[in-house]
Amino acid sequence: MSTPVIRPRRLRTSPAMRRLVAETRIHPAQLILPLFVREDISEPAPIGAMPGVVQHTLDSLKGAVQDAAASGIGGVMLFGIPATRDAIGSGATDADGILNRATRVAAAEAGDALVVQTDLCLDEFTDHGHCGVLDARGRVDNDATLLRYRDMALAQADAGSQLLGLSGMMDGQVAAVREALDGHGLIDTAILAYAAKYSSAFYGPFREAVDSQLRGDRRTYQQDPANRIEGGREAALDEAEGADVLMVKPAMSYLDVLSDVAATAQVPVWAYQVSGEYAMIEAAAANGWIDRERAIRESVTGTLRAGAGAVLTYWALELSAWEKNA
């Protein structure tokens, strides 16, 4: 039997060799930490379905942002949880609403060390839990919702958000928000379009994180998990409307969509490693079924390998520390 001449295993012979030839690397600047801020609590509240993640107070948010800045990660994404809600999500556009107050706190603490980003969606603020305004028949009214998004954009930009995360999946949302920002001279406020956001079972723990009031489901505006081509179409529309960054969400089950979008987009493409992805790994690791650190690294590396330039992940600080100590 002839011996092999081509031996790919030569490049796997040692940790140093494997590190040297690695095609994909995790850098702290590629990581974005989602943070939840709740109005009606006096101390951080643990989220049961997401071990290690809490709902912050405004005071504890300061420390969380300081830690994020010191870690070298790229940014934080803020979600607000109000004490009261109504049909149109009034708290989302109130300058003294929890998210806008939190944004001012985060911007002051972050300085130039982080990009402060905000979730621009009504679901946390409405008493029905949908991402938009409902019509007389109880359906999400796309165009009436765009008017609310425009006002939200102005409020968030005024509070100090540098990047508005449009996550509602309304048709025309990027164009509507871009027009509102530019019309008020806010030409430097950037838009992160959740361009391909799927109606996923993996959002489950997030419902607890934001105390969701959702009745029904979001399948009339979030995408069907069966559709790949549609994800690319949505991303192309958002880019044409002026999105500065495109998002695919969730990450794990949609790496094909992420790869498709990254291959054609002319703007940065990110992915969100959502609450269910986090919870699954934490639960399996807690039971001793998987190696926690290896699974976390592998899940984020796979997302970057598929084409993401950055990843929103609840492990951002841990990953940053691991990479610095590697």
Whole-number mean pLDDT of the chain?
A: 96
pLDDT of residue 196: 97
Global pTM reads 0.96
pLDDT band of residue 211 (cuts 50, 70, 90) is: confident
> What is the CB neighbour count within 10 angstroms for residue 8?
7
pLDDT band of residue 216 (cuts 50, 70, 90) is: confident
Q: Tokens representing 198? A: 């799927």
Residues 6 or more apart in contact with residue 22 via CB below 8 angstroms: none
Q: What distance in Å separates the CA atoms of residue 166 and residue 284, rounded to the nearest whole number? A: 32
Q: Tokens representing 197? A: 């956001």
The amino acid occupying position 259 is S
Whether omega for the bond prior to residue 250 falls within 30 degrees of 0, making it cis, is: yes
Helical H runs in 12-125? Answer: 15-21, 58-71, 98-110
The domains of the chain, with CATH numbers, are 25-325 (3.20.20.70)
DSSP β-bridge partners for residue 77: 34, 117
pLDDT in tens, 75-88: 999 999 999 999 99
pLDDT in tens, 37-59: 999 999 999 999 999 999 999 99
Query: Three-state SS for 136?
Result: coil
Residue 76 DSSP label: E
Residues designated as active site: 197, 249
pLDDT in tens, 150-200: 999 999 999 999 999 999 999 999 999 999 999 999 999 999 999 999 999
Residue 284 has pLDDT above 90, yes or no: yes
Q: What distance in Å separates the CA atoms of residue 186 and residue 183, rounded to the nearest whole number? A: 7
Q: What distance in Å separates the CA atoms of residue 286 and residue 51, rounded to the nearest whole number? A: 10
pLDDT of residue 304: 98
Q: What distance in Å separates the CA atoms of residue 52 and residue 127, rounded to the nearest whole number? A: 28
pLDDT of residue 214: 83
**Strand 310-312 with 269-272, pairing:** parallel
On whether the CB atoms of residues 68 and 23 are closer than 8 A, the answer is: no
Q: Tokens representing 267? A: 């703007």
